[in-house]
Amino acid sequence: MTGKGHLRRRISKSVGVAKHTIRHSQRHAFITNALDARVRLRHMHIATRHAAPHHDPL
């Protein structure tokens, strides 16, 4: 088991997630929750490394 996989399992267990999760589903949940909290989409692009900040200023 890789360090990241082990850490992901420990965090999931500590917050009460009983089922097995994968990195993609956790990433999706993070983005969905941030957008629900009205975080700007541009900020999410930067946080998830989907955009080059120097090409599109905030």
From residue 47, how far is each of 1, 3, 18, 56 by CA, in Å? 26, 22, 27, 14
Q: What is the pLDDT of residue 37?
A: 94
Q: How many CA atoms lie within 13 A of 28 on its CB side?
A: 5
Q: What is the pLDDT of residue 38?
A: 94
What distance separates the 2 farthest-apart alpha carbons in the chain?
Answer: 41
Whether the per-residue pLDDT at 3 is higher than 60: the answer is: yes
Q: Average model confidence (pLDDT) for the chain? A: 78
pLDDT digits over 7-31, tens only? 878 877 888 877 777 778 888 888 8
Q: What is the pLDDT of residue 26?
A: 80
Give the Cα separation of 11 and 57 in Å (integer).
Answer: 34
pTM exceeds 0.85, yes or no: no
Domains of the chain, by residue range, sit at: 22-51
